[in-house]
Structure 1
Amino acid sequence: MQTLWTLTSHPRPDYTTTGLPSRCDSVIIGAGFTGLTAALHLARAGRSVVVLEAGRLGAGASGTNAGFVVPNFAKADPAAVRARLGNDKADALLSLVGAGGDAVFATIAEEGIDCDGAQTGWLQPAYGDAMARLLQARAQAWQALGRPVEALSAAEVAAETGMSLYSGGLIDRSGGTIHPLNYLFGLAAALTRHGGQLCEHTSVTAVDRAGTGWRVTAGTSQITADSVILATNAFNQGIAGRMGRTGVPLRVYQVATRPVDATVVARIAPHRLPVGDTRQNLFTYRLDRENRLISGGMAVNPVGALSRVGRHVASRLAAELGLPATPGLAAAWTGTAIMTPDFLPRLYRFGEGFFGGIGCNGRGIAMTAQLGRVLAGCALGAPLESQPIPLRQASALPFHRLTPLVASAALIQARLKDRLTRIA
């Protein structure tokens, strides 16, 4: 599948291997943002690391997202997290999540990753007066944690977006945008520079206990390791099903338009802020380095959805942003995100020394930078109970195969709720 990122990326590296070691300190299953970040931290700590990727680098969510770096929660705020976890555990998680954008851009700088990284900030316009008040309280809560978050007035949001329908908003100065595939390639290159090994097209078929460690089987090869990290996100086949079936998969469609002209850019993104509003049927947009608009959406009916949603998103961009015409598309693609039932990240322990992490909930770049670091800490022996991400039991959701129907019903409800909010 061609995405904007495959069309504009650096030359694709080849991590095909003809042989695997018989032993290493840690095996990571999955070479997305989470897995490669965990592997990089372990390699920096002097551990021997092998990352096994069933497909091609970037084939999953790490290569098919929109490149937004958003250091907060999609469906929760500090007050809700405290109500669920209690103040101490909540503050640890909030501090971790709030620093996710800084962690991404620090890695980019430290490893010299060329991925169009731009820490311009992230803007969340408020749809409706009630949401404006909620974002104002949310901004104050993040400020109390030391984060560079501010509430904006309706006029300030209009100045940043050219849109007058919003009642206010929130800006997090530590957010931004990247070219996600080039970021992924950069993480892979950094891992190998630090002595780690990455193997594409290498499916793991079994993970079994072997003495005090683990035996990982991939094809005809077996690796014995002290620790194993499962970082397979929404995939739910084979070994990945241990995590993938614990959340709700969401099929997300992304589009990139042909470049818009400078006068449009000056009106809708004078400071090149990526935007994601508070509507239930979320409206987002950002610019890439060539001034292509990138946005996305979901489909109630998945049949033939890629072209249909692509046209709809382009039309919505034109209508919402007041463009002179519906922009032509440079690329349209799709990927799968995963939502946990409580919209919070979570750690899993599948046995002593065998860990997994999931739950970016639509915040996959900033959250993975922190999730990968926490998983590396677990592999290095840090107590799981002291980690800022909650440790949960890995239980498959009942009727997991029916969750796409639940997502479609939720989208219908969201669109109706947005209409009612606008009428009110």
Structure 2
Amino acid sequence: MSGTGRHPTLGELSRGQMPEGARLAFRPYWWDAAPRPEPDAMPLPERADVVVIGSGFTGLSAALTLVRNGRVPLVLEREVPGFGASTRNGGQIGSGNQKFRVQHLIALRGAEKARAMLREGVAMLDYIADLVAREQIACDFARCGRFRGAIRPAHYEAMARDMEDLFAFAGVESFMVPRAEQHREIGSDLFHGGSVLPGDASLHPGRYHAGLMARILAAGGAVIGGAGVTGIRVEPDGFSLATPRGAVRCRAVIVATNGYTDGMLPELKRRIVPVGSGLIATGEIPSALFKPLMPTDRVYGNTNRVFSYFRAAPGERRIVWGGRVGRLASDRSPAAYAHLARDLLETFPALSDVPVTHGWDGRIGYTYDEVPHLGRTRQGVHYALGYCGTGVSRATYFGHKVALQVLGAPQGRTAFDDLAFPAFPVHPVAKRAVPVVETWYRLRDTYDF
């Protein structure tokens, strides 16, 4: 947007207003500290060892595992490296166990499988912590914990029971915070208490991505943007990948495209529906106003079906607030972010005059059964994708595991290996139905039915 004036305030944005001369940066806030590199103009090699398609957390984690095990990965990206949701998320890191209540997961998968999946979810969180420390990636990683606010009293009671189950099945520590005491966790009266998972974490997604990429390049791998793969052909000694910049032949392929999965492999496209996620970042908030809002400096969320997630930006008095993307406007229109400003002000009403500096969106990859999947296609192409909105730890962990599977290492086995990967029954309809389903869920959140 043109203009050199001030930024819109949360109050103005919540009403869909953009005063004349006001400006909003339509790019991830995280890119300010970690700008995206321009696509490399170098020609693609004719042959490669392992090609990784997609340069998000999954692809870079896979490439790093490969290069640390003596292989030479080539990461190919359609846009600039890190263009997609890996540098567009909120930087919240959980165990990946937030999608289902424990008892619901048991009903779906059985007690033994549920226990294995839940415990591996904890391993995902621990793996990313170990990786950041081992590779010495400066990305503001912190075990800050997560507060999840109960929108209704019944949600609080349900969370309390689920936290008990999560400890019994996976050893995850937590504690409940009743409404009378919630101001020690959050300066809002919106919630009816909440739960705290003290082991959950946060990081700066842009710096984390840049750190992963720097380690790969330093070890001899390659990450090339502007080189999207448009087709994969099986050959006797591996695969041939078509790109606008020529073909690349390789021994093995990993598809790591998640919410940006297209028709390159129809077998995978039918199994992923992209769901938009939108975020805004505020300007600096005065200290006296900011300090009571999030006194424990955790990451935060709520129990709505169409939920919000938020946190303070690392080392700054800014709030990064996320939710579903606006449906009736493009990401270059302020109206696409009005609902996020309204949700933020519902939680923190005193911030109406705080400026909003950034607004952006990204694509979440949703699967039909709402669990992530990794494995091999009928053609022998490896894949890891479908994180359903909990992708920071899951993507990093699944990228590592699928790389180990390419290497034939027994450590690549996971509790997710034997899960059937169902396709959406009518994929084009499912994709178009996302806004309708979201609107229905918002109505249920509002009127509690």
Query: TM-score normalized by structure 2?
Result: 0.85
**Distance in 1 of aligned mates of 2:38 and 2:326:** 37
2:162 is aligned to 138
Partner-residue secondary structure (3-state), 2:175: strand
The Cα of 1:403 is off from its aligned counterpart by: 3.1
In structure 2, the partner of 1:80 is 104
Provide structure 1 residue ranges, at least 5 long, that are not aligned to the other structure.
none
Contact 2:240–2:250 (CA under 8 A) maintained in structure 1: yes
Alpha-carbon contact 2:301-2:310 (below 8 Å) kept? yes
Q: Which residue in the other structure is 2:362 paired with?
A: 335
Map of 1:210-249 to 2, 5 A cutoff? 210-219=235-244, 221-239=246-264, 241-249=266-274
1:199 aligns to 2:224 (yes or no): yes
Partner residue of 1:174 out of 195, 199, 212 = 199
2:21 corresponds to:
none
Of 136, 147, 164, the match for 1:112: 136
Confirm or deny that 1:95 pairs with 2:119. Answer: yes
Q: 1:25 and 1:330, CA in 2 relative to 1: closer, same or farther beyond 3 A?
A: same
Which range is displaced more, 67-76 or 31-40? 67-76
Structure 1 distance, partners of 2:318, 2:210, is 22
User: Which whole-Å deviations, capped at 9, do the CAs of 1:96-117 have from their partners, x for residues lacking one?
Assistant: 2223333223222222222222
SS at match of 1:191: helix
Identity between Structure 1 and Structure 2 (%)? 27
Question: In structure 2, what residue type is equivalent to 1:188?
Answer: M
Deviation at 1:192, TM superposition (A): 1.6
Native 8 Å contact 1:5 1:63 kept in 2: yes
Aligned counterparts, 1:6-21, within 5 A: 6=31, 8-14=32-38, 16=40, 18-21=42-45
2:46 and 2:135 mapped to 1: Cα distance? 29
1:380 is matched with which residue? 407
Contact 2:281–2:321 (CA under 8 A) maintained in structure 1: yes
The alignment partner of 2:167 has SS state of helix
Runs (5+) with no aligned partner, structure 2 = 1-25
User: Which sits farther off after the overlay, 132-141 or 360-369?
Assistant: 132-141
Amino acid in the other structure paired with 1:298: R
| Alignment match, 2:347 | 320
Deviation at 1:299, TM superposition (A): 5.3
Cα distance change on mapping 1:25 and 1:81 into 2, 3 Å: farther
Give a deviation string over 1:373-402, Cα, whole Å, max 9, x none: 221122122579953224456665344333
Q: CA RMSD in A?
A: 2.6
Secondary structure of the equivalent of 1:228? Answer: strand
Q: Give 1:44 deviation, angstroms.
A: 1.1
| In 1, Cα distance between equivalents of 2:165 and 2:422 | 32
Kindly provide the CA deviation profile for residues 144-202 of structure 1, in whole angstroms up to 9, marking residues without a partner as x. 32223333333343321122342332222222222212211111111122322211111
Task: Specify which of 158, 176, 188 is matched with residue 183 of structure 2.
Answer: 158
Deviates more, 1:193-202 or 1:319-328: 319-328
Query: Taking structure 1 as the reference length, what is the TM-score of the superposition?
Result: 0.90
Pick from 281, 298, 307 the counterpart of residue 282 of structure 1: 307
2:246 and 2:336 map into 1 onto residues whose CA distance is: 43
- Whether 2:62 is the aligned partner of 1:38: answer yes
Give CA-to-partner distance per residue, 1:81-102, whole Å, 9 cap, x none. 2322233332222122223333
Within 1, Cα distance between the matches of 2:442 and 2:116? 34
Contact 1:246 1:396 in 2 (8 A): yes
Contact persistence 1:16–1:199 (CA under 8 A): yes
Q: Whole-Å Cα distance in 2 between the matches of residues 318 and 165 of structure 1?
A: 10
Per-residue CA deviation, residues 342-373 of structure 1 (Å, 9 max, x unaligned), is: 21111242136421122211111111121112
Residues 4, 256 of structure 1: 8 Å contact kept: yes
- DSSP 3-state at the match of 1:148: coil
C-alpha distance in 2, partners of 1:278/1:60?
26
Amino acid in structure 1 at the alignment position of 2:129: F
* 1:296 paired residue number: 322
Determine which of 86, 90, 95 is the counterpart of 1:62: 86
Q: How many residues end up aligned between the 2 structures?
A: 421
Mapped to 2, the partners of 1:384 and 1:206 lie a distance apart of 30
Quick one: which amino acid aligns to residue 302 of structure 1? L
Q: Does 1:122 align with 2:146?
A: yes
Is residue 2:392 matched to residue 1:365? yes
Separation in structure 2 between the aligned mates of residue 385 and residue 100 of structure 1, nearest angstrom = 13
Whether the 8 Å contact between 1:123 and 1:274 is mirrored in structure 2 is yes
Question: Equivalent residue for 2:18?
Answer: none
**How far does residue 38 in structure 1 lie from its aligned partner after superposition?**
1.0
Asked if structure 2 preserves the Cα contact closer than 8 Å seen for 1:96 and 1:370, the reply is no
8 Å CA contact 2:373, 2:416 repeated in 1: yes
Q: Counterparts of 1:89 and 1:396 in 2: how far apart (Å)?
A: 21
Q: Which shifted more, 217-226 or 70-79? A: 217-226
- Cα gap change, 1:215/1:394 in structure 2, threshold over 3 Å: closer, same or farther? farther
Of residues 175-184 and 206-215 in structure 1, the stretch that sits farther from structure 2 once superposed is: 206-215
Query: For 1:62, what is the secondary structure of its paired residue?
Result: helix
Query: For residue 51 of structure 1, what is the amino acid of its counterpart?
Result: V
CA distance in 1, matches of 2:299, 2:171: 22
1:258 paired residue among 283, 299, 320? 283
SS at match of 1:410: helix
Q: Which amino acid aligns with 1:206?
A: G
Aligned counterpart, 1:269: 294
Which residue matches 2:28?
Answer: 3
- SS of structure 1 residue aligned to 2:195: strand
Counterparts of 1:317 and 1:258 in 2: how far apart (Å)?
Answer: 14
Give the corresponding residue for 1:349. 376
- Aligned partners of 2:124, 2:183: CA distance in 1, in Å? 27
Task: Tell me, in whole angstroms, the C-alpha distance in 1 between the residues paired with 2:233 and 2:166.
Answer: 43
The residue type equivalent to 2:436 in the other structure is: A
After superposition, the Cα gap between the structure-2 partners of 1:156 and 1:404, relative to the gap in structure 1 and judged at 3 Å, is: farther
Question: Which has the higher mean CA deviation after the structures are superposed, 97-106 or 254-263?
Answer: 97-106
CA distance in 1, matches of 2:109, 2:342: 41
